Structure 1
Amino acid sequence: MKILISNDDGFRAEGIVALYEALKSIADVEVVAPEHNNSAKSNALTLHTPLYVNRADNGFRYVNGTPADCVHIALTGLLGYRPDLVISGINNGANMGDDTLYSGTVGAAMEGYLFGIPALAVSQMDKGWAHLDAAAVKVKELVQQMQAGDLMDTKPWLLNMNIPNLPLEEIKAAKLCRLGRRHAAEPVITQVDPRGQTMYWIGNAGPAMDDSEGTDFHAAGLGHVVVTPLKVDLTDHAHLDHWTHAFSRLAAQGRA
């Protein structure tokens, strides 16, 4: 099995090192990750600035771009082969609910999925890397289970995995969940720079709004590994008929 690993915390982040160490015994693993932290870059690609690939002293390759850049470059020429799986992480902090729209961790995994490769985004629920080795073991176990279940050779899938920062023996079984929702983000933080200009810092994410049973927030609060299948299609299928009728009325009014 060949696995491509990336992340959004940067190639020297503790999470990506732990993930590589856990997986190298069961697969041929390549790391292509951002040079610097690229949190909240989502699916962004760099189109107007040249990108460079360098190799670090630990053998990892790093790119002066976004998480999606790293996976895109790896899959379109850098590797020279097609991996069986793309894994992004382990991220320093949760990616649940609305976070998935902004997450560079999810964006890197989604880039693999867009190229038709099974992909997994992995995060720890709390920042600080506590019990990181346990999280890496849980990823390794899931990969082995999916390989044994012949889920690597099916049509491509995209999974979002969040792991509690707990000792291995205290982490509860994986639970398949839907995404919850957050309240709106907190207000921007304003400061004045030395030249007297106002600076703006994006506020913290809002608290959970929908953390009912069945959501990732609910299962995470109970100590489970949380897994959510994701998709790229943003079409509001449930309301297509509504909008079809609405636009028909608008068209009829325009001809009157």
Structure 2
Amino acid sequence: MKILLTNDDGIYSEGIQILKKQLDKIAEVTVIAPDRERSTIGHAMTLRKPLKMRKVKINGDFWGYSLDGTPADCVIIGILEIMKTERIDLIVSGINCGPNLGDDIFYSGTVSAAVEGAMRNVPSLAVSIAGFEDFKFKSAALFTKKIASKLMKNILPANLVLNVNFPNIDYEEIKGVEITRHGKRVYQDEVKIIHDPQGTTHYWLGGELPEGNIEPDTDFEAISKNEISITPLSLDLTNYQMITKVKDWAKKWNF
């Protein structure tokens, strides 16, 4: 089995290093990751400048490819160039330092890397820890290895994207696994305005990260119960419930 491993926290992130060691036990793993932190970069791609790639050794443990691009760039170059002569069985993106729950998926470079893989017909996992400090990477890595191993015993649809979130607790404390839908939380964003001595105005985007709505069958509910959340994602963003209504509106627009 061959796995392409990437992330959005950068190739020197502890999460990708610990995950690599676990996935090595079940597959041949190629690491292609951004050369620096690229969190909340979403599905950005680099189209207007050349990308530089270096082969680097991480903590003396393993070699990987460091790219001065985005997580989606890493997947594209991995599929089309670095691993073009190989059959990639699975793309794994993570382990992300922080949750990708609910609406986070629209901002996440971690999830977008997995989506890019599925768009190119490679089944993909995005894996994240739902915490903000003292990350339990080993626990998440052990479960990711289990999930990947069990998945590969099946014939997987090429457009598979699974968004996996782990509670930030030790392996023995995890209560189980739930297959969930992604939930909802409303961000209380704010813009801070700063004027420097030269009179230039600077804008800082920020705000507090809100709690998610603990609704039945959601990723937030699973995490609140110390369970692993696995959410199958769709590449089709069509709102089918609105098609008829929008058709009715369009009839009155007289274009």
TM-score by length of structure 1 reads 0.93
Identity of counterpart residues, as a percentage? 37
- Structure 1 runs of 4+ aligned residues shifted over 6 Å read none
Separation in 2 of the partners of 1:106 and 1:182?
Answer: 17
Q: How much is the aligned-residue C-alpha RMSD, in angstroms?
A: 1.5
**1:89 corresponds to 2:120:** no
- What's the counterpart of residue 11 of structure 2? 11
8 Å contact kept, 1:92–1:129? no
| Post-superposition CA distance 1:120-145 (Å, at most 9, x none) | 00000012352211110010011112
Alignment of 1:35-46 (within 5 A): 35-46=35-46
- What's the counterpart of residue 2 of structure 2? 2
Separation in 2 of the partners of 1:112 and 1:18?
Answer: 22
8 Å contact kept, 1:75–1:82? no
Alignment of 1:191-206 (within 5 A): 191-204=194-207, 206=209
Unaligned runs of 5+ in 2: none
Greater mean deviation of Cα atoms: 107-116 or 122-131: 122-131
| Post-superposition CA distance 1:188-246 (Å, at most 9, x none) | 23333343323222213642453212111111111010111111211111110101111
Number of aligned residues:
250
SS in 2 for 1:40: coil
**1:70 corresponds to 2:69:** no
- What's the counterpart of residue 239 of structure 2? 236
| Paired AA for residue 100 in structure 2 | N
Separation in 2 of the partners of 1:247 and 1:20?
Answer: 52
Q: 1:133 aligns with which of 122, 134, 138?
A: 138
SS in 1 for 2:148: helix
8 Å contact kept, 1:180–1:208? no
- What's the counterpart of residue 126 of structure 2? 121
Separation in 1 of the partners of 2:213 and 2:174?
Answer: 23
- What's the counterpart of residue 34 of structure 1? 34
**1:108 corresponds to 2:113:** yes
- What's the counterpart of residue 187 of structure 2? 184
- What's the counterpart of residue 51 of structure 2? 51
Unaligned runs of 5+ in 1: none
| Paired AA for residue 175 in structure 2 | K
When residues 246 and 186 of structure 1 are mapped into structure 2, their CA distance, relative to the original with a 3 A threshold, is same
8 Å contact kept, 1:15–1:129? no
SS in 2 for 1:183: coil
| Post-superposition CA distance 1:32-58 (Å, at most 9, x none) | 000111111111100001101111123
Separation in 2 of the partners of 1:132 and 1:45?
Answer: 28
Q: 2:173 aligns with which of 170, 174, 179?
A: 170
SS in 2 for 1:90: strand
